[in-house]
Amino acid sequence: MVLLAFIICVLASIAITPLVKKFAVAIGAVDKPNYRKVHQRIMPRMGGLAIFISFLIGMVVLRPTAPFEQPLINPAIIMGSIVIILTGVLDDRFELSAKVKLAGQLLAALVVVVYGGVQINFVNLPFGGTIEFGYLSIPLTILWIVAITNAINLIDGLDGLAAGVSTIALLTISLMAFMKGDLYVMSIALIVAGSAIGFLKYNFHPAKIFMGDTGALFLGFIISVLSLLGFKNITVVSLIIPIIILGVPISDTIFAIIRRKLNNQPISAPDKSHLHHCLLRTGYTHKQTVFIIYAIAMMFGLAAIIFSMAKVWGAIILIGVITLAIELFVESIGLIGNDYKPLLNFVKGSTKKNL
């Protein structure tokens, strides 16, 4: 039944996207080229509406059963998704201010956290003991949802990039949920992944439609909620798993914040130095850049699966290796800045001394 729902979502998204494209053009929800954007012509956006409608169809077909202790999670996810979709639709049409968009994201997060009961209440430490979050559980959970929602939005800069990276994350979450016996999270993740895959038919380079904030915010919201449902309230190690799965958008967001701080710019200031921009500047084509980032996202997914099966010290070593690899990659492509190469300079200096 889950496989059938997945296939139905793929087909529904393929069928609905052209209709959404016409609707977006009719109401003026289009993306115009500017100095920050790669595309050179006016493009319809709001394509995420097709992903959302396909997701709703999948929910009707599959009717996944929420865990017994969280009977309100199904309506909470749908209600929160409606709030985030309305925020994205309005932004794609009228270009809302950052404060208004943030308000919509906070409202969607509140629906899931307060009404649905999704919260990070405590974490078991790897060497014994527990951290109880108490009153901080609600704000911490909301912070996670809003942060991941925006992280997905930030990587939506090339044809097929956000949809593809989100699909890889969703399939990884689904596989790990299956390994844990969590059929609920597995089912929801597959439904959304199928909806995104169908949309990719029109969004892959050269794109015929963009997902817009409608799609990026929705995918980020769903991924953030599913990662909480699948990996919360266990240990510090298992809480790191969704961070690894979302390694591409999270690391790009973190380094964007560092870059802007170093350049004395506001954190929300847009620029043209994100991961995909840097890869394009090194000489890769549009498609090559997207495939490279897909490959990186897959490696993060594989690392998350290995991490989940590792012992504590193995997990710590893996985190160290991932951190080192990220730093070397960031320095090599100039993600923070062309002059930021402390580790590479250290390696070069050590090599020269040995020679």
Contact 208, 25 (CB under 8 A): no
Contact 30, 148 (CB under 8 A): no
Percentage of residues in the chain with pLDDT exceeding 70? 90
Q: Which of 11-25, 174-188, 264-278, 321-335 has the lowest mean pLDDT?
A: 264-278
pLDDT band at 234 (very low <50, low <70, confident <90, very high): low
Domain extents for the chain? 2-354
Give the integer Cα–Cα distance in Å for 141 and 152: 17
Average pLDDT over residues 325-354: 79
- Tokens standing for 179? 């390994």
- Tokens standing for 158? 């090339």
Q: Which of 47-56, 160-169, 275-284 has the lowest mean pLDDT?
A: 275-284
Most confidently predicted of 13-22, 140-149, 285-294, 345-354: 13-22
Average pLDDT over residues 150-167: 90
Predicted pLDDT at 70: 75
Q: Is 252 annotated as a binding residue?
A: no
309: CB partners within 8 A, 6+ apart:
none
Of 82, 39, 47, 67, the residue nearest 163 (C-alpha): 47
95-125 pLDDT, tens digit per residue, is: 999 999 999 999 999 999 999 988 887 776 6
Q: Which of 199-213, 242-256, 334-348 has the lowest mean pLDDT?
A: 334-348
Across the chain, what does the average pLDDT equal?
87
In angstroms, how far is CA 168 from the centroid of its own chain? 10
Q: Given phi > 0 = left and psi -120 to 50 = alpha, else beta, which region is 33?
A: beta
- In degrees rounded to 5, what are phi and psi of residue 43? -130, 140
Structure-derived torsion over alpha carbons of residues 317, 323, 329, 333, reported in degrees to the nearest 10:
-170
Q: Is 153 annotated as a binding residue?
A: yes
Give the integer Cα–Cα distance in Å for 225 and 335: 28
- In degrees rounded to 5, what are phi and psi of residue 188? -60, -45
